[in-house]
Structure 1
Amino acid sequence: MKRLTFLLCLNVLFASAQTTKDSLALANAPWKTETLAKGVIWKYAHFQQKELFEANQSVNIVEVSRKARKFVWEIITADSLNKRDKKRGQLRKTSQLAQENDAFLAINGGFFDVKNGGSVDFIKINGQTPDTTRALKGSKAAFHGQAGIAVDKKNFQILRGEPLVGWEYLLPYNNIMLSGPLLRWENKDEVLPKNAFNDNRHPRSCVCTTKSGKTLLITVDGRSAESYGMNLSELTFLTRQLGCSSALNLDGGGSTTLWLKEKGVVNYPSDNKKFDHEGERSVSNALILKLLTRKNK
């Protein structure tokens, strides 16, 4: 019994030391930082020699503050919102969607049907719902359909939903994208069930909001020796260390992409199995920040 107690104490100390080590790795990392515009900052760090979570990690962060008054948020889709247009189930790269919509920056969005195209979760854009949106059979919403985001020009918010299909139809917003799972809500970590999606390391995309009014777009590369990727507990820890009060997981894996105007894709998408900027996967939707003009004021 004494030996067991001793080993448990060692495990607790190790876990505590590991958390401290990871906190210090994030705080002391040589973040490459660049101001893209007033109130919009891009940060990048490559954690090598297994510095973060005992793994190599490649992390991009874009911070958008309240000072970014010349920009608006938009949810975009590869499908036409024109009901008469039969071009449904479309898939295009995040970079292509961004350029087609004259974006300043873009991150891939919610989950989609890789084979047939179209979102698998609720999306509403300017009050319209693309008809590729699918509702799952049964009454329980999928794990990626129990939370989401709502945007309205300069306003951005994370939504906590219900485990029931249809909760999103009651929301009083014109621009909604469901995704999940929710990682943090009002300064508390969410309880994540034990499963392969949550527990295995993958490339990840994430959005979060801070007390100071910043919105963060985060990508973590994965599936390579240069960057292992994160499980959702590690991603939650990262968002907490970055000061996120609420955080939401987006579609990840080969979909994970962060695009910046005049720089292109800045993360290392994994679909080509190379650690370069060329491995983008075609997706159904994305979240963009767009330059504010008289037309969209």
Structure 2
Amino acid sequence: MMKKYWLLPVMAGMLLSCHNTRHLRSGTTAVKVLKDPTGWVTDTLSPGLIHYHFAGYYTPSAASQNVNVIEVDLNNPRYQLKIAEVRPSDSLSAVAARIPGALAAINGSYFEIVDGLYSGFFKSDDTIRTQVTIPKDHRLFWKHDAAFYYDTAQQTAGILYGNNESYNQLRYANVVSASPMLIYQYKPVGETFAKPRHTPLDSLDYEDPDRHQGVRHPRTAIALTSHKQVLLITVDGRDKQAAGMSARELTQFIQHYFRPEHALNLDGGGSTTLWIKNANTPTGVVNYPTDNKRFDHFGQRKIRNYITVVEK
């Protein structure tokens, strides 16, 4: 049903990581990441840290959309990412408020536990927290076919295809598996991840990848440019003011406006949350989480991991 990109476990980790590694430079860059500013409000929070907001009718999807993007320039030595597990689970705003120097944060990736078995690979602070232990024929197995990695000590970041075995071989302090890959080496691979079906998608199992990624939902994604900017992206949904996007629509949206080298879909739906320090909202959450079924900033779902921009 899905394309397979696996190599032999050790070689996959070595080849893919070498190919996609982005060594971060000191200093800042002047590259404009937002290629088409039409419809966007841009707020420079500090040098090398920008908040973009799109709210309104988006013609390609023939629907209203609400999208928030944080751009962090990891060439700037004042910033780094903190990626961590949350035990016990808690809201993103509560977690971020406790992190020294936290400036912005998004929810992390899939974290299903089924009969004691895990659907995702997660490593933080050089410690593997979970490995993929569900069997290959499990309906959630598709959720870890790519990963974002980041290492402060080595000053590297990247997005690659892989599997549990190859992720174990990566020598980076932080590895977050997810799915699907949206953009790989500038190619919009997320356009074709969900396959067309004669059967109505809503009649399929909720976790079927064609339904899960073929219909509109709130979405969270992370992207990386060739100039070492990381984009933290949230797309709201399930409301007339924010329709949400399919994987195909999100791929096309990100490619049109930002043209990153790589982009990866993270956990979405009720988990989609973006927090910004000192934001003008009661919780610091700037998007519209959906767990309370209201279009406000309070409907956060408790999360199990997160990605945060921290000022050193």
* TM-score category, normalised to shorter length: 0.7 to 0.9
- How many angstroms apart in 1 are the aligned matches of 2:116 and 2:297? 23
Greater Cα offset, 132-141 or 211-220? 132-141
In the TM superposition, what whole-angstrom CA distance separates every residue of 1:55-97 from its partner, at most 9, and x where no partner exists?
A: 1100111111245320111111112xxxxxxxxxx21111122
TM-aligned CA distance change 1:143 to 1:134, over 3 Å: closer
- Alignment-mate amino acid for residue 95 of structure 2: L
Q: 2:69 aligns with which of 43, 50, 61?
A: 61
Residue of structure 1 equivalent to 2:85: 77
Whether 2:232 is the aligned partner of 1:217: answer yes
Unpaired segments ≥5 residues, structure 2: 1-34, 196-209
| Equivalent runs, 1:61-140 vs 2, <5 Å | 61-79=69-87, 90-102=88-100, 103-113=102-112, 120-130=119-129, 133-138=131-136
- Residue 74 of structure 2 contacts residue 80 of structure 2 at CA under 8 Å; is this kept in 1? no
Residue of structure 2 equivalent to 1:260: 276
- Residue 117 of structure 1 contacts residue 284 of structure 1 at CA under 8 Å; is this kept in 2? no
Q: Displacement of 1:221 after TM fit?
A: 0.1
- Residue correspondences, number: 253
| Equivalent runs, 1:1-297 vs 2, <5 Å | 27=36, 29-48=38-57, 51-79=59-87, 90-102=88-100, 103-113=102-112, 120-130=119-129, 133-138=131-136, 142-153=141-152, 155-162=156-163, 165-190=164-189, 191-194=192-195, 195-241=210-256, 242-263=258-279, 264-292=284-312
Q: Displacement of 1:234 after TM fit?
A: 0.5
Q: Tell me the SS of whatever aligns to 2:270.
A: helix
- Alignment-mate amino acid for residue 63 of structure 2: A
TM-score by length of 2: 0.75
- Residue 29 of structure 1 contacts residue 47 of structure 1 at CA under 8 Å; is this kept in 2? no
Q: Tell me the SS of whatever aligns to 1:97.
A: helix
Q: Tell me the SS of whatever aligns to 2:251.
A: helix
- How many angstroms apart in 2 are the aligned matches of 1:193 and 1:174? 31
Greater Cα offset, 114-123 or 251-260? 114-123
In the TM superposition, what whole-angstrom CA distance separates every residue of 1:240-291 from its partner, at most 9, and x where no partner exists?
A: 1111111000000000000011111011111111111111100100011111
Unpaired segments ≥5 residues, structure 1: 1-25, 80-89, 293-297
Greater Cα offset, 133-142 or 207-216? 133-142
Q: Tell me the SS of whatever aligns to 2:228.
A: coil
- How many angstroms apart in 2 are the aligned matches of 1:41 and 1:116? 42
Q: Displacement of 1:52 after TM fit?
A: 4.3
TM-score by length of 1: 0.79
Identity %: 33
CA RMSD of aligned residues (A): 2.3
Deviant stretches of 4+, over 6 Å: 114-119
In the TM superposition, what whole-angstrom CA distance separates every residue of 1:79-128 from its partner, at most 9, and x where no partner exists?
A: 2xxxxxxxxxx211111221222321100001123899996411111221
Q: Tell me the SS of whatever aligns to 1:247.
A: strand
- Residue 110 of structure 1 contacts residue 119 of structure 1 at CA under 8 Å; is this kept in 2? no
